[in-house]
Structure 1
Amino acid sequence: MADPSPIDIQKALGGMEYPASKEEIVQHAKDKGADDAVLETLGNLPDREFDSPTDVNKEASK
């Protein structure tokens, strides 16, 4: 499965309030109907709090 683009990730996280935990981020993306590639990428994030959408994208692109 191809990695989602940072734009796809940010679309899934639109309206997310930060700081947010990994679990909150994944649940928000699910609620917004994110596709499987985005959910898989977010599910692989480290288990910590994220301070911003940029913070999420930095970790997701590692």
Structure 2
Amino acid sequence: MRRITPAGPEHGQAIAIAVERLREARTLLRQAGARQAASAAGKAISSAEGAARHVQHRIRRTTQ
């Protein structure tokens, strides 16, 4: 099995902050009428949420 790069809680917190800010940006883009940019922000949110799941797995695996 491949070795997993260690991750700590600070990595999870950083991603959570990024997701929160992306959501704020998407809301502002919608208010500004920038539909395509808001859609792109939504895709970025999905990607960041996937990264959050990934880092949570890394945290679980490296703290056992």
Q: Same fold (TM over 0.5)?
A: no
More strand by percentage: 1
Structure (1 or 2) with the larger CA radius of gyration: 2
**Could you say which structure has the greater relative contact order, defined with CA pairs below 8 angstroms and 6 or more residues apart?**
2
